[in-house]
Amino acid sequence: MRKKYKSGFVSIIGRPNVGKSTLLNNLLGEKVSIISNKPNTTRTNINGVKTGANYQIIFIDTPGIHDAKDKINRLMVQNAIDSLGMVDIVYLMVEPDEFIGKEMLFILNLLKEYKGVKYLLVNKVDKFTKSKALKVANKIFSYTEFKYVLPISALKGINIDKLVELTVTDLPEGDKIFDDDYITNVPEKLLIAEFVREQVFKILKEEVPYDTVVECELVEDRSEDLLYAACSIILSKESQKPIVIGKQGRTIKEIGKRSRENLEKFFGVKVFLDLWVKVVNNWQDKDEYLKIQGIL
């Protein structure tokens, strides 16, 4: 007897920097969400699609839920909260040494109201003892219940196949929503900009604040196997500009080189990448720059 087809939506939520984007990339086998150890690297809800023989899962990688102060962060948090209203399953990601403070209590109170299926994923179990993971799970269960508690490592792939198997079981029956080869709904320009922003963070680390934004101003196919993209790295202070450019342009060349390599792996064609640096004071409060990132 042929298995019935399953399809549905899964939201990945948690505090900043717990590994949500790493998990999404591992689940898909493709990089669609950028990874950095800076908090709030993911600024908008990024959809990734995983299609199997009898299922299709649409994952939503949300920005970390935190105590937001400025406009950009408040919008990011609201995006994450809004995702709960449209999904069949929620993964709450925590770490074994998770602190149950103000931010986590806010998330747990949201989940008390959520009517769908809830999974508690204890990430980074490759770095902690099983007893520590069990301890944090017991703590969180005292606030709200979950159907499954699963220790995972988003980075090492531990229990990821099991997570997919359980998720498919809990999905509702439904038709395929996207074509088999569809991976993400992120617009091409935004995806290219995010690949560049990831390298800005990785190369410059603490030298440039996490609120740096990248705008892909132009992308076009120059031939069947050559993609051209022009991107601006937008900073909020003039003093940051020489840091990003580097001595004799070395830093921005390295950002471009690493970004291009990752883009070529993703798109499967040669990429010609032009990078520029701009300074826009207080861009975080300007709607046009929030729209660039898909936040508005």
Looking at the structure, tell me whether residues 118 and 30 fall in a common domain: yes
d(CA 41, CA 39): 6
Judged on CB neighbours under 10 Å (0-12, 13-18, 19+), 295 is buried
d(CA 146, CA 140): 9
Report if residue 177 sits inside a domain: no
Q: Can you give the C-alpha Rg of the chain in angstroms? A: 20
Looking at the structure, tell me whether residues 110 and 222 fall in a common domain: no
Q: Look at residue 31 and give its three-state secondary structure.
A: coil
The two tokens of residue 201 are: 């963070």
Mean pLDDT of the chain: 83
What is the total count of domains within the chain? 2
Confidence of residue 267 (pLDDT cuts 50, 70, 90): confident
Report if residue 178 sits inside a domain: no
Question: How far apart, in Å, are the Cα atoms of 121 and each of 26, 154, 261, 285?
Answer: 14, 10, 32, 35
Report if residue 239 sits inside a domain: yes
In terms of residues, how long is the chain?
A: 296
CATH number of the domain that 246 lies in? 3.30.300.20
Looking at the structure, tell me whether residues 32 and 67 fall in a common domain: yes
Phi, psi of 200, deg, nearest 5: -60, -45
Produce one character per residue of 144-181: b if its CB has 16 or more CB atoms within 10 Å, e if not: bebeebbbbbbbeebbbeebeebbbebbeeeeeeeeee
Looking at the structure, tell me whether residues 57 and 29 fall in a common domain: yes
> H helices of the chain, where?
20-28, 71-83, 102-113, 130-141, 160-170, 188-204, 241-245, 250-267, 287-292
CATH number of the domain that 149 lies in? 3.40.50.300
Which residue in the block uniquely carries the two structure tokens 């944090």?
A: 136
The residue segments making up the domain with residue 224 are 188-292
Residue 295: the pLDDT is: 47
Report if residue 181 sits inside a domain: no
Report if residue 208 sits inside a domain: yes
Residue 101: the pLDDT is: 86
Confidence of residue 31 (pLDDT cuts 50, 70, 90): confident
Looking at the structure, tell me whether residues 82 and 226 fall in a common domain: no
Residue 175: the pLDDT is: 92
Of 138, 170, 202, at which residue does a domain stop? 170
Of 170, 196, 220, at which residue does a domain stop? 170
For residue range 131-181, list pLDDT tens digits in order: 888 899 999 998 988 999 999 999 899 999 999 999 999 999 999 988 888
Report if residue 288 sits inside a domain: yes
Looking at the structure, tell me whether residues 166 and 250 fall in a common domain: no
The two tokens of residue 11 are: 């939201």
Looking at the structure, tell me whether residues 270 and 155 fall in a common domain: no
Of 135, 170, 205, at which residue does a domain stop? 170
Looking at the structure, tell me whether residues 80 and 160 fall in a common domain: yes
Nearest to 295 by CA among 107, 76, 122: 76
Looking at the structure, tell me whether residues 205 and 123 fall in a common domain: no
Report if residue 175 sits inside a domain: no
Looking at the structure, tell me whether residues 44 and 109 fall in a common domain: yes
Looking at the structure, tell me whether residues 139 and 236 fall in a common domain: no
Looking at the structure, tell me whether residues 55 and 111 fall in a common domain: yes
Report if residue 176 sits inside a domain: no
CB neighbours of residue 205 within 10 Å: 11
Q: Is residue 111 within 8 Å of residue 92, measured between CB atoms?
A: yes
d(CA 52, CA 34): 24
Residue 292: the pLDDT is: 56
